[in-house]
Amino acid sequence: MFSHKIGLLLFLLAVLNGHATARSKHFDVLIFTQRWPQTICIMWKEESPSHSCALPSDTQEWTIHGLWPTEFHRIGPEYCNPSLPFDPSALSPLEDQLKEKWIDIEFGRDSYSLWKHEWEKHGTCAAVLPELSNEQKYFEEGLALLSQYDMKNVLAQANIVPGYQYAATDIFNAVQQVLGASPVIVCRRDRDSGDSYLFEIRICLSKSLELTNCDSVTEFPTNCGESTSVVYPADVSQDYNEV
C-alpha cells in the first residue's frame, strides 16, 4: 500500500510538472523594447569613468533591446527550448545591421553576448510563431519592427527630441497618440543627481505581430513618476533644459 501511494504521488508530481512546463511556454503578447543608447552609456560610465560605449553611427538612433514573449501581468516565459541553441553563423546575413541597430552598448558592437542572450531567453519561446520560427527570422523581425516603429521618429512627431526634459506623461501620451496603442516608458535614475533619464520604450504586439495596448502587461505604464521631469539626453555630457 505504501509503495502504491508513493507511486501515485510520483505520478501526480510528474503530471503537475508537465502542466507547469507547458504553462511556462505560454504567452499572450510580445513586448518590443527599444532603448536609448545615450542613457545606457551614461549609466555605464557612472559605474566607472573608464568604461567605453558602442553607440550607433547615427547617435540620434534608438536601438533594439529585445522582442519578448510575455504573459499578461507577468514577464515570461523564458529559455523555452534548449534544442535551439544560439548559432552565430545564422546571423551572418544580418550582422552589419545588427551591429548598428541591436548593439551591446556596454560590451561592444562585435560582441555576440546580447544576441545570444536574447535568442536563448526570448527567441526560443517566440519560435512557436511561424514568423519567428528560427534565429534569422527572429532577428529580422526585430530589425523590421525598429524600422516601422522607430522611437526617434515617433517622438519627433510630438516634438519630443533629445537634449531636453519632458514630463513622463507627455512621452507616454506622444507614443500612444502616434501609434494608437499604449506603451510602457522606462527610466533610470542617476545615483548622483537623482535625475530620471529616458531609458527604454516598450510597445506590445499580438501574436499576429499587430500593435496592441500594453495595459494588460503591467498596471504601471511608467516607472518614471508622473510628476517627474525626464531627461532625454542628446549625449553623455550635456545640460538639459525643461520644455
3-state secondary structure 54-75: CCCCCCCCCEEEEEEEEECCEE
CA dist., res. 155 & res. 176, Å (int) = 10
Whether 182 and 176 have beta carbons less than 8 Å apart is answered as: yes
In our burial notation (b when 16+ CB lie closer than 10 A, e otherwise), range 61-81 reads bbbbbbbbbbbeeeebbeebe
Q: Which of 118, 120, 141, 200 is catalytic?
A: 118
Question: Choosing from 61, 106, 120, 122, which is the catalytic residue?
Answer: 122
Q: Is 73 annotated as catalytic? A: no
* Lookup result for grid cell 526634459: 165
Instruction: Give the residue among 10, 14, 29 at the shortest CA–CA distance from 215.
Output: 29
Answer whether 64's CB lies under 8 Å from 101's CB. Answer: yes
Kindly tell me the sign of the dihedral angle through the C-alpha atoms of 205, 110, 36, 77: positive
User: 95 catalytic, yes or no?
Assistant: no
Whether omega before 37 lies within 30 degrees of 0, making that bond cis, reads: no
Catalytic residue among 65, 135, 141, 200: 65
- Among 219, 173, 215, 199, smallest CA distance to 29 is for 215
- Torsion 164-150-169-198 (CA) sign: negative
Beta-bridge mates of residue 201: 34, 185
Q: Which residues are catalytic?
A: 65, 118, 122
